[in-house]
Amino acid sequence: MIKLKTPNLINNYILSALAVAFVFFAVPVATEASETESKLLTEGIENNHVEQLQDLLLEEGYLQQNDISGVYDDQTSIAVKNYQEDHDLMVDGKAGVQTLGALKVLEEGDDHALVADLQETLQEQGYYDGSLDGHFDSETGESVKAFQSEAGIEVDGLAGPETFGVLYYGTSEETTDDADQAVEEKETVEEEATEEETTEEEATDAEASGDASASDDGSSDAEGETYTMEATAYTANCDGCSGVTATGIDLNNNRDANVVAVDPNVIPLGSTVHVEGYGEAVAGDTGGAINGEKIDLHVPTQDEALEFGRQDVEVTVLD
Protein backbone atom coordinates (compact mmCIF):
# COMPACT_ATOMS: atom_id res chain seq x y z
CA MET A 1 0.00 0.00 0.00
CA ILE A 2 1.36 3.45 -0.88
CA LYS A 3 1.02 5.77 2.08
CA LEU A 4 -0.74 8.99 1.15
CA LYS A 5 1.28 12.09 1.92
CA THR A 6 -0.65 14.44 4.18
CA PRO A 7 0.28 18.08 4.89
CA ASN A 8 0.73 19.01 8.55
CA LEU A 9 -2.27 21.33 8.38
CA ILE A 10 -4.63 18.35 8.16
CA ASN A 11 -3.60 17.26 11.64
CA ASN A 12 -4.80 20.60 13.03
CA TYR A 13 -7.92 20.41 10.85
CA ILE A 14 -8.96 16.99 12.09
CA LEU A 15 -8.17 17.83 15.69
CA SER A 16 -10.26 21.01 15.62
CA ALA A 17 -13.07 19.65 13.47
CA LEU A 18 -13.48 16.53 15.61
CA ALA A 19 -12.65 17.83 19.07
CA VAL A 20 -16.31 17.60 20.08
CA ALA A 21 -16.14 13.84 19.57
CA PHE A 22 -14.12 13.40 22.76
CA VAL A 23 -17.10 14.70 24.74
CA PHE A 24 -19.08 11.70 23.53
CA PHE A 25 -16.30 9.21 24.20
CA ALA A 26 -16.23 10.40 27.82
CA VAL A 27 -19.85 9.25 28.31
CA PRO A 28 -20.19 5.44 27.82
CA VAL A 29 -23.89 5.57 26.96
CA ALA A 30 -23.65 8.64 24.75
CA THR A 31 -25.16 8.55 21.30
CA GLU A 32 -23.24 6.91 18.51
CA ALA A 33 -25.04 8.37 15.49
CA SER A 34 -24.63 11.83 16.99
CA GLU A 35 -20.87 11.27 17.19
CA THR A 36 -20.78 10.70 13.47
CA GLU A 37 -22.88 13.77 12.75
CA SER A 38 -20.47 15.90 14.77
CA LYS A 39 -17.60 14.76 12.54
CA LEU A 40 -19.39 15.22 9.21
CA LEU A 41 -18.64 17.69 6.44
CA THR A 42 -21.53 17.98 3.98
CA GLU A 43 -22.80 20.16 1.14
CA GLY A 44 -23.48 23.77 2.10
CA ILE A 45 -20.80 24.01 4.81
CA GLU A 46 -18.29 26.83 4.30
CA ASN A 47 -15.17 27.06 6.47
CA ASN A 48 -11.43 26.47 6.50
CA HIS A 49 -11.97 22.78 7.32
CA VAL A 50 -13.67 22.33 3.96
CA GLU A 51 -10.82 24.13 2.23
CA GLN A 52 -8.29 21.82 3.85
CA LEU A 53 -10.36 18.80 2.80
CA GLN A 54 -10.32 20.20 -0.73
CA ASP A 55 -6.54 20.55 -0.51
CA LEU A 56 -6.31 16.82 0.28
CA LEU A 57 -8.59 15.93 -2.61
CA LEU A 58 -6.47 18.15 -4.87
CA GLU A 59 -3.33 16.33 -3.74
CA GLU A 60 -4.97 12.98 -4.56
CA GLY A 61 -6.06 14.20 -8.00
CA TYR A 62 -9.81 14.47 -7.38
CA LEU A 63 -10.05 18.28 -7.62
CA GLN A 64 -8.42 21.06 -9.63
CA GLN A 65 -6.75 24.11 -8.13
CA ASN A 66 -9.62 26.38 -9.15
CA ASP A 67 -12.03 24.14 -7.20
CA ILE A 68 -10.47 25.17 -3.85
CA SER A 69 -12.98 27.59 -2.33
CA GLY A 70 -13.72 26.54 1.25
CA VAL A 71 -17.31 25.82 0.22
CA TYR A 72 -18.59 22.23 0.25
CA ASP A 73 -20.24 22.51 -3.17
CA ASP A 74 -21.41 20.01 -5.79
CA GLN A 75 -17.89 19.63 -7.18
CA THR A 76 -16.51 18.77 -3.74
CA SER A 77 -19.31 16.27 -3.15
CA ILE A 78 -18.59 14.61 -6.51
CA ALA A 79 -14.87 14.45 -5.70
CA VAL A 80 -15.60 12.85 -2.31
CA LYS A 81 -17.93 10.31 -3.97
CA ASN A 82 -15.26 9.43 -6.55
CA TYR A 83 -12.66 8.98 -3.80
CA GLN A 84 -15.06 6.83 -1.77
CA GLU A 85 -15.92 4.67 -4.78
CA ASP A 86 -12.27 4.20 -5.74
CA HIS A 87 -11.37 3.09 -2.20
CA ASP A 88 -14.41 0.88 -1.47
CA LEU A 89 -15.91 3.23 1.13
CA MET A 90 -19.62 3.98 1.52
CA VAL A 91 -20.43 6.32 -1.39
CA ASP A 92 -22.54 9.19 -0.02
CA GLY A 93 -20.53 12.32 -0.91
CA LYS A 94 -20.09 13.22 2.76
CA ALA A 95 -16.71 13.48 4.48
CA GLY A 96 -17.26 11.54 7.69
CA VAL A 97 -14.91 9.63 9.95
CA GLN A 98 -14.20 6.76 7.52
CA THR A 99 -13.52 9.05 4.55
CA LEU A 100 -11.39 11.46 6.60
CA GLY A 101 -9.51 8.55 8.15
CA ALA A 102 -8.81 7.04 4.75
CA LEU A 103 -7.55 10.36 3.40
CA LYS A 104 -5.43 10.97 6.49
CA VAL A 105 -3.84 7.46 6.70
CA LEU A 106 -3.54 6.90 10.44
CA GLU A 107 -0.22 5.64 11.82
CA GLU A 108 1.69 5.27 15.08
CA GLY A 109 2.11 8.60 16.85
CA ASP A 110 -1.20 10.10 15.68
CA ASP A 111 -3.42 11.58 18.40
CA HIS A 112 -7.03 12.56 17.62
CA ALA A 113 -10.66 11.47 17.49
CA LEU A 114 -10.27 9.48 14.28
CA VAL A 115 -7.90 7.14 16.12
CA ALA A 116 -10.40 6.75 18.98
CA ASP A 117 -13.10 5.80 16.48
CA LEU A 118 -10.72 3.32 14.83
CA GLN A 119 -9.85 1.79 18.23
CA GLU A 120 -13.52 1.43 19.13
CA THR A 121 -14.34 -0.33 15.86
CA LEU A 122 -11.35 -2.67 16.21
CA GLN A 123 -12.42 -3.40 19.78
CA GLU A 124 -15.97 -4.22 18.70
CA GLN A 125 -14.59 -6.71 16.19
CA GLY A 126 -12.31 -8.35 18.74
CA TYR A 127 -8.92 -7.05 17.60
CA TYR A 128 -8.20 -4.44 20.28
CA ASP A 129 -8.64 -4.42 24.05
CA GLY A 130 -6.74 -1.29 24.98
CA SER A 131 -7.88 2.17 25.99
CA LEU A 132 -10.06 4.25 23.65
CA ASP A 133 -7.79 7.24 24.17
CA GLY A 134 -7.27 8.43 20.59
CA HIS A 135 -3.53 7.69 20.72
CA PHE A 136 -2.20 5.45 17.93
CA ASP A 137 0.34 3.48 19.96
CA SER A 138 2.08 0.17 19.24
CA GLU A 139 -0.88 -1.80 20.61
CA THR A 140 -3.20 -0.06 18.16
CA GLY A 141 -0.73 -0.75 15.36
CA GLU A 142 -0.55 -4.45 16.22
CA SER A 143 -4.36 -4.59 16.29
CA VAL A 144 -4.51 -3.03 12.82
CA LYS A 145 -1.96 -5.58 11.58
CA ALA A 146 -3.96 -8.46 13.07
CA PHE A 147 -7.09 -7.23 11.31
CA GLN A 148 -5.25 -6.73 8.01
CA SER A 149 -3.78 -10.24 8.18
CA GLU A 150 -7.13 -11.88 8.82
CA ALA A 151 -8.82 -9.72 6.16
CA GLY A 152 -6.25 -10.78 3.56
CA ILE A 153 -5.02 -7.26 2.76
CA GLU A 154 -1.53 -5.75 2.95
CA VAL A 155 -0.19 -5.95 6.51
CA ASP A 156 1.58 -2.66 7.22
CA GLY A 157 -0.09 -1.36 10.40
CA LEU A 158 -1.31 1.78 8.61
CA ALA A 159 -5.02 2.56 8.69
CA GLY A 160 -5.51 3.86 5.16
CA PRO A 161 -8.17 3.57 2.42
CA GLU A 162 -8.11 -0.22 1.99
CA THR A 163 -8.09 -0.90 5.73
CA PHE A 164 -10.97 1.52 6.37
CA GLY A 165 -12.93 0.07 3.43
CA VAL A 166 -12.68 -3.51 4.72
CA LEU A 167 -13.00 -2.62 8.43
CA TYR A 168 -16.16 -0.55 8.11
CA TYR A 169 -17.80 -2.01 5.01
CA GLY A 170 -16.17 -5.41 4.44
CA THR A 171 -15.04 -4.50 0.92
CA SER A 172 -11.72 -4.30 -0.91
CA GLU A 173 -10.70 -4.58 -4.54
CA GLU A 174 -9.80 -8.25 -4.00
CA THR A 175 -13.01 -9.14 -2.17
CA THR A 176 -15.08 -7.19 -4.68
CA ASP A 177 -13.55 -9.12 -7.58
CA ASP A 178 -14.22 -12.41 -5.76
CA ALA A 179 -17.80 -11.37 -5.10
CA ASP A 180 -18.34 -10.42 -8.75
CA GLN A 181 -17.01 -13.81 -9.85
CA ALA A 182 -19.26 -15.59 -7.35
CA VAL A 183 -22.29 -13.69 -8.63
CA GLU A 184 -21.46 -14.59 -12.23
CA GLU A 185 -21.06 -18.28 -11.32
CA LYS A 186 -24.32 -18.24 -9.39
CA GLU A 187 -26.18 -16.64 -12.30
CA THR A 188 -24.81 -19.29 -14.68
CA VAL A 189 -25.97 -22.11 -12.40
CA GLU A 190 -29.38 -20.51 -11.99
CA GLU A 191 -29.80 -20.09 -15.75
CA GLU A 192 -28.96 -23.76 -16.35
CA ALA A 193 -31.34 -24.86 -13.62
CA THR A 194 -34.09 -22.68 -15.06
CA GLU A 195 -33.71 -24.25 -18.51
CA GLU A 196 -33.86 -27.77 -17.07
CA GLU A 197 -36.98 -27.04 -15.03
CA THR A 198 -38.96 -25.16 -17.69
CA THR A 199 -41.22 -28.11 -18.50
CA GLU A 200 -41.91 -28.83 -14.85
CA GLU A 201 -42.70 -25.19 -14.11
CA GLU A 202 -45.19 -25.00 -16.99
CA ALA A 203 -47.05 -27.93 -15.44
CA THR A 204 -47.37 -26.45 -11.95
CA ASP A 205 -50.78 -25.53 -10.57
CA ALA A 206 -52.02 -22.06 -9.61
CA GLU A 207 -50.65 -22.35 -6.07
CA ALA A 208 -47.12 -22.95 -7.32
CA SER A 209 -47.48 -20.04 -9.76
CA GLY A 210 -48.50 -17.81 -6.89
CA ASP A 211 -45.42 -18.85 -4.94
CA ALA A 212 -43.22 -18.02 -7.92
CA SER A 213 -44.80 -14.58 -8.25
CA ALA A 214 -44.24 -13.91 -4.56
CA SER A 215 -40.56 -14.72 -4.93
CA ASP A 216 -40.17 -12.02 -7.58
CA ASP A 217 -41.92 -9.15 -5.77
CA GLY A 218 -38.65 -7.22 -5.39
CA SER A 219 -38.67 -7.26 -1.59
CA SER A 220 -35.34 -7.03 0.21
CA ASP A 221 -33.68 -10.03 1.86
CA ALA A 222 -34.15 -8.35 5.24
CA GLU A 223 -37.91 -7.84 4.89
CA GLY A 224 -39.81 -9.78 7.54
CA GLU A 225 -36.65 -10.53 9.53
CA THR A 226 -36.63 -9.97 13.29
CA TYR A 227 -33.37 -9.26 15.11
CA THR A 228 -32.39 -8.86 18.73
CA MET A 229 -30.25 -5.72 18.64
CA GLU A 230 -28.23 -3.66 21.09
CA ALA A 231 -29.94 -0.27 21.14
CA THR A 232 -28.71 3.18 22.11
CA ALA A 233 -30.33 6.58 21.56
CA TYR A 234 -29.21 9.87 20.08
CA THR A 235 -30.56 13.36 19.46
CA ALA A 236 -30.05 16.04 16.84
CA ASN A 237 -30.05 18.63 19.63
CA CYS A 238 -26.37 18.55 20.54
CA ASP A 239 -23.35 20.80 20.09
CA GLY A 240 -21.71 20.23 16.72
CA CYS A 241 -24.50 18.02 15.36
CA SER A 242 -25.87 18.93 11.93
CA GLY A 243 -29.27 17.43 12.64
CA VAL A 244 -29.37 15.99 9.11
CA THR A 245 -29.23 12.21 8.75
CA ALA A 246 -27.21 10.14 6.27
CA THR A 247 -30.27 9.98 3.99
CA GLY A 248 -31.00 13.71 4.20
CA ILE A 249 -33.76 13.74 6.85
CA ASP A 250 -33.66 17.08 8.69
CA LEU A 251 -34.34 16.21 12.32
CA ASN A 252 -34.12 19.88 13.32
CA ASN A 253 -37.58 20.36 11.82
CA ASN A 254 -39.09 17.34 13.59
CA ARG A 255 -37.54 16.47 16.92
CA ASP A 256 -40.22 13.79 17.47
CA ALA A 257 -39.44 11.92 14.24
CA ASN A 258 -39.04 8.16 14.63
CA VAL A 259 -35.75 7.67 12.79
CA VAL A 260 -33.12 5.04 13.55
CA ALA A 261 -29.48 4.60 12.60
CA VAL A 262 -28.62 1.13 11.30
CA ASP A 263 -25.88 -0.85 9.59
CA PRO A 264 -26.96 -0.78 5.90
CA ASN A 265 -25.41 -4.24 5.47
CA VAL A 266 -28.02 -5.61 7.91
CA ILE A 267 -31.04 -3.33 7.36
CA PRO A 268 -31.21 -1.36 4.07
CA LEU A 269 -31.48 2.40 4.41
CA GLY A 270 -35.03 3.58 3.73
CA SER A 271 -36.62 0.48 5.27
CA THR A 272 -39.53 0.73 7.69
CA VAL A 273 -38.86 -1.11 10.94
CA HIS A 274 -40.70 -1.81 14.18
CA VAL A 275 -38.60 -1.40 17.30
CA GLU A 276 -39.77 -2.87 20.59
CA GLY A 277 -40.80 -0.06 22.93
CA TYR A 278 -40.21 2.61 20.25
CA GLY A 279 -42.70 1.79 17.50
CA GLU A 280 -42.43 2.08 13.74
CA ALA A 281 -39.51 4.06 12.39
CA VAL A 282 -37.55 4.82 9.24
CA ALA A 283 -34.04 3.39 8.89
CA GLY A 284 -32.69 6.74 7.76
CA ASP A 285 -29.30 7.17 9.39
CA THR A 286 -25.95 5.49 10.00
CA GLY A 287 -23.29 5.78 12.71
CA GLY A 288 -19.59 5.11 12.98
CA ALA A 289 -20.17 2.57 15.78
CA ILE A 290 -23.41 1.14 14.39
CA ASN A 291 -22.07 -2.10 12.94
CA GLY A 292 -23.83 -5.44 12.73
CA GLU A 293 -26.88 -5.95 14.92
CA LYS A 294 -26.83 -2.55 16.59
CA ILE A 295 -29.36 0.27 16.31
CA ASP A 296 -29.44 3.91 17.44
CA LEU A 297 -32.86 5.51 18.12
CA HIS A 298 -33.53 9.22 17.56
CA VAL A 299 -35.11 10.94 20.56
CA PRO A 300 -35.98 14.63 21.11
CA THR A 301 -33.43 15.52 23.81
CA GLN A 302 -29.96 14.60 25.07
CA ASP A 303 -31.41 13.81 28.52
CA GLU A 304 -33.72 11.22 26.98
CA ALA A 305 -30.80 9.72 25.05
CA LEU A 306 -28.71 9.38 28.21
CA GLU A 307 -31.67 8.00 30.17
CA PHE A 308 -32.24 5.34 27.49
CA GLY A 309 -28.68 4.01 27.91
CA ARG A 310 -28.06 0.62 26.30
CA GLN A 311 -30.61 -2.16 26.08
CA ASP A 312 -31.52 -5.13 23.92
CA VAL A 313 -34.66 -4.75 21.78
CA GLU A 314 -36.50 -6.75 19.13
CA VAL A 315 -36.33 -5.11 15.68
CA THR A 316 -38.54 -6.29 12.80
CA VAL A 317 -38.03 -5.12 9.21
CA LEU A 318 -41.50 -4.33 7.83
CA ASP A 319 -40.54 -3.32 4.28
- CATH code assigned at 297: 2.40.40.10
Give the C-alpha separation, 222 to 254, whole Å: 27
Give the C-alpha separation, 298 to 305, whole Å: 8
Whether residues 82 and 159 share a domain: the answer is no
Whether residues 133 and 158 share a domain: the answer is yes
Q: Give the model's pLDDT for residue 14.
A: 42
Q: Give the model's pLDDT for residue 316.
A: 95
Q: Give the model's pLDDT for residue 35.
A: 40
Considering the domain boundaries, does residue 38 fall inside one? Answer: no
Model's pTM, two decimal places?
A: 0.41
Considering the domain boundaries, does residue 81 fall inside one? Answer: yes
Mean pLDDT of the chain: 77
Whether residues 51 and 74 share a domain: the answer is yes
Considering the domain boundaries, does residue 30 fall inside one? Answer: no
Q: Which of 130, 150, 169 is the last residue of a domain?
A: 169
Q: Give the model's pLDDT for residue 198.
A: 56
Which has more pLDDT, 231 or 241? Answer: 231
- The answer to which of 7-11, 35-39, 107-111 has the lowest mean pLDDT is 7-11
* Tens of pLDDT, residues 62-76: 999 999 999 999 999
- The answer to which of 125-129, 243-247, 296-300 has the lowest mean pLDDT is 243-247
* Tens of pLDDT, residues 252-288: 888 889 999 999 999 999 999 999 999 999 999 998 8
Whether residues 51 and 135 share a domain: the answer is no
Considering the domain boundaries, does residue 127 fall inside one? Answer: yes
The total of structural domains in the chain comes to: 3
Domain residues for the domain of 163 are 110-169
CA atoms within a 13 Å half-sphere pointing along the CA-CB vector of 280: 5
Considering the domain boundaries, does residue 59 fall inside one? Answer: yes
Give the C-alpha separation, 31 to 25, whole Å: 9
